[in-house]
A = this chain, B = another copy of it.
């Protein structure tokens, strides 16, 4: 059974070395429904999804989401939604807010639980499955018209990400496995919306011991090749346990 009053919306963020992007959809309800929830009675699900922002037939864009089946855990369902849209299932997912105004969706009382996801779009190509009518990256500060309260949802996701990124070293989830310090800094500049001093930034990062020099370098760049680093998961886990004295601002 699908729970009619509850949906999950996933604000999927990506970073392409220049800017932060958010993935929005215009979808084909019939196809994706078959796929997500084969055990459901078609009519019931169709009704629900047609009335849900993510599957509505109107021309506006939507945050990617769906109504949750009664047999799926909340976190697991968010993961399912992201995997369905992108083909990736090892993404960083964070529940950030539950939206519950009575009139956020016309004609239906739908409470939606918002998650944001961090993925690296350049290294994992988005799977444009048959289910997807349209799936595109947008600049979160210049969104197209969005369905219902989805602009608010993206806004709040962005705020939560900005908050979180300052105190937890989660930014690397938006980067490929190997990255340069400049990319790392640029990530923070883009998310926080301000320029930082290169030397000071590098000093701070170095003190945290979160990055490992891979010994490799960029190739085929028309300038001095930058060193490539990767994230040290052990230090990351340790920092998380110790209350993490990670701070970037």
Binding site for B on A (CB under 8 A): 3, 5-6, 68, 70-75, 77, 95, 97-102, 109, 111, 113
> In the assembled complex, which residues on chain B have CB atoms less than 8 Å from the CB atom of A113?
98, 100, 111
CB distance from A228 to the nearest CB of B (A): 33
Q: In the complex, A98 Cα to B8 Cα: how many Å?
A: 11
Bound complex: CA of A100 vs CA of B73, how far in Å? 6
Instruction: State whether A72 touches B102 (Cβ < 8 A).
Output: yes
Contact check, A70 vs B101: say whether CB atoms are below 8 A apart: no
Alpha-carbon distance A102/B3, docked complex (angstroms): 12
A3 to B99, CA, bound (A): 15
Contact yes or no, B111 A6, CB < 8 A: yes
Contact between A98 and B70, CB atoms less than 8 A apart: no
Q: How far is the CA of A95 from the CA of B156 in the complex (A)?
A: 13
Let me know if A74 and B3 touch, CB within 8 A: no
From B73, B97, B98, A101 is in contact (CB under 8 Å) with: B73
Given contacts A5-B3, A5-B6, A6-B6, is CB(A74)–CB(B95) below 8 Å? no
B residues near A71, Cβ cutoff 8 Å = 102, 109
Complex contact A109–B70 (CB within 8 A): yes
Provide the residues of chain B in CB contact with A72, threshold 8 Å: 102
Q: Give Cα A189 to B74, complex, Å.
A: 35
Assembly CA distance A163 to B163 (angstroms): 12
Q: Which of A73, A75, A77, A100 gathers most chain B CB within 10 Å?
A: A100
* A/B interface sample: 9 pairs, CB < 8 A: A3-B109, A6-B6, A72-B102, A73-B100, A73-B102, A74-B101, A77-B100, A98-B113, A100-B113
Tell me the bound Cα distance from A75 to B77 in angstroms: 24
On chain B, the residues within 8 Å of A74 by CB distance are 98-101, 111
Report the minimum CB–CB distance from A76 to chain B (whole Å): 9
Complex: how many Å from CA A68 to CA B5?
Answer: 11
User: A97 touching B100 by the CB < 8 A rule?
Assistant: no
Q: A4 — nearest CB in chain B belongs to which residue?
A: B5
Residues of B within 8 A of A99 (CB): 74
CA of A74 to CA of B111 in the docked complex: distance in angstroms? 8
Q: How far is the CA of A111 from the CA of B111 in the complex (A)?
A: 10
Distance in Å: Cβ of A23 to nearest Cβ of chain B = 22
The winner among A97, A98, A99 for most chain B CB atoms within 10 A is: A98
How long is the Cα–Cα vector from A5 to B230 in the complex, in angstroms? Answer: 43
